[in-house]
Amino acid sequence: MASTVTAMPARMSAEEWQTRCDLAACYRLVDLFGWSDLINTRITARVPDSDGHFLINRYGLLFDEVTASSLVKIDREGNKVEPSDYEVNSGGFAIPSAVHMARSEIACVLHTHSIAGCAVSMQQDGLLPLNQHALQIIADVAYHDYEGTGRNPEERARLLADFGDRHIMVLRNHGLLIVGTSIAAAFVATYRMERACAMQLAFRQSGAEFHPINDDVVRAAYDNVRSRLAGRNDPTRSEWPALLRKLDRIDPSYKE
Ligand SMILES: [Zn+2]
């Protein structure tokens, strides 16, 4: 990924520029895969080796307009830490900030209002153990009840308690909140959850009778601590370079 460093501004660390390029790519990929919601929702990333600094999108951009240099650096309260003409949705950073600050291993917090994710968030039973895709992540899925759009500071503690050390959270009647130890890990976990949600919707809409999975297999999936730790397996070296090649073929301007 050396090519992503060529446009790096002076006085910026190579690590921050690389994070900017990866985060801009993540915004573009979320849009490309159909999970964006106009200018709403956000993906944030921790600036490596910084004292509580994060990168967030310039508020008002569509996700396919986000570039590395347009990302805004903010502190844990959502205040800009460098001069910037760009505005940020600092109120929307409250929940991601709480996760970033409570879990130092988390590099990226990805929030979506995707159709499949929202649809499963409305279903009483949440993600069901219906197939291999669901079983591979089901032990890593947490749930948090909807408390309205008011940003009650007390909700942050409840959300963190509900999340625990999992990586995929269903925000009931709202959407998904997915975290990763890298931007790549957060994106790939989102992809896996989206696929599982879409498969559940397709099956339920079919009205067909369910072919059951052996109880022992289902139980093992819920007990599988390794799958719960899946978010800590970093796909930076596997899926992510392939996804960046895909973006580069379509539009490499995310690196600007
Ligand atoms: Zn939302």
The residue ranges of every structural domain in the chain are 11-251
CA of 11 to the centre of ligand 1 (A): 34
Rounded to 5 degrees, φ, ψ at 141 are -105, 130
- Give the pLDDT confidence score for residue 226 in this predicted structure: 60
CA of 177 to the centre of ligand 1 (A): 9
Q: Name the pairing type of β-strands 141-144 and 108-112.
A: unpaired
CA of 5 to the centre of ligand 1 (A): 32
CA of 152 to the centre of ligand 1 (A): 14
- How many secondary structure helices (H) and strands (E) does the chain include? 9, 7
Q: Which value, to the nearest 10 degrees, does the dihedral of the CA atoms of residues 116, 219, 144, 168 take?
A: -60
From residue 219, alpha-carbon distances to 105, 142, 163, 214, 247 in Å are: 28, 17, 21, 9, 39
Q: Tens-digit pLDDT profile for the chain (256 aa)?
A: 444 445 788 789 999 999 999 999 999 999 999 999 999 999 999 999 998 999 999 999 999 999 999 999 999 999 999 988 889 998 889 999 999 999 999 999 999 999 999 999 999 999 999 999 999 999 999 999 999 876 788 999 999 999 999 999 999 999 999 999 999 999 999 999 999 999 999 999 999 999 999 999 999 999 886 655 554 567 988 899 999 999 999 999 999 9
pLDDT in tens, 225-243: 665 555 456 798 889 999 9
Mark 229-252 as b/e (b = at least 16 C-beta within 10 Å): ebbeebbbeeebeebbeebeeeee
CA of 175 to the centre of ligand 1 (A): 6
CA of 111 to the centre of ligand 1 (A): 7
CA of 210 to the centre of ligand 1 (A): 32
Terminal CA-to-CA distance of the chain, rounded, Å?
Answer: 14
49 three-state secondary structure: coil
DSSP 4: G
Which CATH class name applies to 11-251? Answer: alpha beta
- Give the pLDDT confidence score for residue 73 in this predicted structure: 96
CA of 20 to the centre of ligand 1 (A): 22
pTM reported for the whole predicted model: 0.94
CA of 94 to the centre of ligand 1 (A): 12
- Give the pLDDT confidence score for residue 28 in this predicted structure: 98
